[in-house]
Structure 1
Amino acid sequence: MPAAIPYPGLEHYLARLYSTEQAGTRVWLDAEGRATGRYFHSTLTSAFQPIRTLNSDKVIGYEGFARSDSESDQGLCLWKLLDHAANDDESVELDRLCRMLHAINFFRQPEAGDSDLYLSVHARLLAAVDGNHGTAFSRILKVLDLPQERVVLQLPVIVEHQGWLANYVADNYRRNGFRIAMNAVDALEALKLIDLVRPEAVKVDTRQAVHDGPALRLLDICAARNIQVIFKRVESVDTLDSLGRIAELSGAVIHVQGFHWDLPAPSIPAGRRLVAPLSFQHC
């Protein structure tokens, strides 16, 4: 017997959904019980990748990814297909649908425990939304009785001259009750932007070399400000060795995310470690 969902609004909403797509419906349940959505001619679902504490494998959160529904493979990354095709209004609509699907599919799983849910904000939405960023999503979470304090909104990588825009959007989201994560191409870029955005978490891409100096300065500043540091896209043993050395030098708690440990997957594993091939497409 499935475990009871501790969110009455979500349980009521799921009970009202059709078990298959019906004419005119936008969201329904697939054969696995996942919330699935329709966007133009694409069928969307959610996949989640853990964020772990380095050297302990403790999971502190999951990042949600939108995937086209597919029985034969991992599915396509819809943002990549729409980057050059959708106008701003369509991008906003897609973003809101994906956030709702991710929230439903994450919190309906007991395995989510007390972990946080990290959701990306597409770069086009920074300027496309004229009003108060986060208002619509906040209303959805309230209707579904979902814990907004466990949702972290990730701003995209920005360049320094866009800092004012990121700061404006971050303030909007923060006023609507969300925590903010900031993405950066490396630790040096994160150091330039952290005062502008004032995030609760910083996610640093490791595809470029992780240099000790900037990484140690970033960890020191973030520790003083109670900001989580997450090194993402960790794939190689060399990168893992670099992070291990930095953790030892700094004495800081480092969080990591990447294919070295996990593929994004629809189901949240119960204490299971997934080892992924390194050729999976990033999104």
Structure 2
Amino acid sequence: MIAPTIPELIARAADHPFLGEHLAMGTGAHAKEAVARRRGMELLSAYEPIYDISVHSGAQSLTADLAMASRFGDELGYQAVTLREQNGQLAPCDAFSDTLDDPDLVAVDRMVRALHAINFLGGQQHGLLFLRVHERLLKSVKYDHGRHFSNVLVSFGLNPGRIVIELPAAAVAHRTFLGYLTKSYQRYGFKVAGNLPNAGQILSVSDMPRPDFVKMDAASALRDSMVKPLVSYAARLRIPLIFNRVADAAQFEQLQQYDVRFVQGPVFAAQDKVV
């Protein structure tokens, strides 16, 4: 089933009591995408690829040509990035930097997640969409995490199963809270990824219910010589492990030595314009 287009989704958002106030089609260079407008600020979407590098095995080196980075695998999905135009240039921004209270943060989070989902799914992008959730939001919403967002997506004709809710490291550090959040989001049709605050925290995801993905900072894992143990333990749990923030060719090639499968990070920006 083909998802509705971006203009169709914005038309449906117009009937939503909150999203209709803040989401619209862009203008000028952004006329084909949705934008969010709040307090005089315009927010846009970008997406950072997460690669499955096991697709192309063999002798591969980024050192010789960083421009070849995009040919090292197929995309598992994309991480949503919020952009703001500053001095004529688009740059990543923290949409929550000026939120003063919990209700405001919840509203901004829902606006930004809807913006990214509309641009990604309405733009007919393939793969999964990874959406970060702010730590304070998880504490502000007392129960039924994921229900509101799932209801919005379904009402727009979108599939929550294409969305991966990415939990912050602070939530993953608490096993009971992690289990509750994972179960709740999965109950409403989402997949769940957990950011490990450290390599040892992967033990927290060994109990059921388990996240669909775990993510680990590449530099930290390499520095602590934990890549091989992490890959081995994640394989036993049958949970895909994503090494993120891969900064350069040296890190990428070190990860390859340990049969790492999923990677993302700025090393790919040399070739891959964030879509």
Instruction: Give the shorter-chain TM-score range.
Output: 0.7 to 0.9
Residues of 2 paired with 1:50 and 1:71: CA distance? 26
Determine whether 1:99 maps to 2:119: no
Secondary structure, in 3 states, of the residue corresponding to 1:132?
A: coil
Q: 1:71 to 1:27 in 2, by over 3 A?
A: farther
Q: Which residue in the other structure is 1:281 paired with? A: none
Residues of 1 paired with 2:216 and 2:160: CA distance? 24
Residues of 2 paired with 1:17 and 1:152: CA distance? 21
Q: Which residue in the other structure is 1:266 paired with? A: none
Output one character per residue of 1:48-75: Cα deviation in whole Å (capped at 9) or x when no partner: 1000122532111001122224572223
Deviation at 1:213, TM superposition (A): 5.7
Aligned CA-pair RMSD: 2.7
Output one character per residue of 1:139-187: Cα deviation in whole Å (capped at 9) or x when no partner: 1110121121111100001277632222222221111111110101343
Q: Which residue in the other structure is 1:194 paired with? A: 205
Q: 1:160 to 1:34 in 2, by over 3 A?
A: closer
Q: Which residue in the other structure is 1:52 paired with? A: 51
- 2:180 alignment partner, one of 168, 192, 195: 168
Secondary structure, in 3 states, of the residue corresponding to 1:28?
A: strand
Deviation at 1:30, TM superposition (A): 0.7
Q: Which residue in the other structure is 1:217 paired with? A: 229
Residues of 2 paired with 1:128 and 1:12: CA distance? 31
Q: 1:217 to 1:208 in 2, by over 3 A?
A: closer
Deviation at 1:217, TM superposition (A): 2.7
Deviation at 1:212, TM superposition (A): 7.9
Q: 1:151 to 1:145 in 2, by over 3 A?
A: same
Residues of 2 paired with 1:156 and 1:240: CA distance? 23
- Does structure 2 retain, via aligned residues, the 8 Å contact 1:50–1:262? no
Q: Which residue in the other structure is 2:2 paired with? A: 6
- Does structure 2 retain, via aligned residues, the 8 Å contact 1:30–1:36? yes
Q: Which residue in the other structure is 1:259 paired with? A: 266
- Does structure 1 retain, via aligned residues, the 8 Å contact 2:199–2:221? no
Q: Which residue in the other structure is 1:68 paired with? A: 84
Moved more, 194-203 or 59-68: 194-203
Q: Which residue in the other structure is 1:30 paired with? A: 26
Query: How many matched pairs?
Result: 248
Deviation at 1:256, TM superposition (A): 0.4
- Does structure 1 retain, via aligned residues, the 8 Å contact 2:215–2:244? yes
- Does structure 1 retain, via aligned residues, the 8 Å contact 2:6–2:123? no
- Does structure 2 retain, via aligned residues, the 8 Å contact 1:181–1:199? yes
Secondary structure, in 3 states, of the residue corresponding to 1:202?
A: strand
- Aligned pairs for 1:120-135 within 5 A: 120-135=132-147
Determine whether 1:89 maps to 2:119: no
Secondary structure, in 3 states, of the residue corresponding to 2:258?
A: helix
Q: Which residue in the other structure is 1:184 paired with? A: 196
Identity of aligned residues (%): 28
Moved over 6 A (4+): none
Q: 1 or 2, which has the higher helix percentage? A: 2
Q: Which residue in the other structure is 1:42 paired with? A: 41
Letter of the structure 2 residue corresponding to residue 36 of structure 1: V
Letter of the structure 2 residue corresponding to residue 215 of structure 1: V
Moved more, 95-104 or 191-200: 191-200
TM-score by length of 2: 0.80
Moved more, 94-103 or 178-187: 178-187
Letter of the structure 2 residue corresponding to residue 68 of structure 1: R
- 2:272 alignment partner, one of 266, 271, 274: 274
- Does structure 2 retain, via aligned residues, the 8 Å contact 1:9–1:145? no
Letter of the structure 2 residue corresponding to residue 53 of structure 1: D
- Aligned pairs for 1:136-147 within 5 A: 136-147=148-159
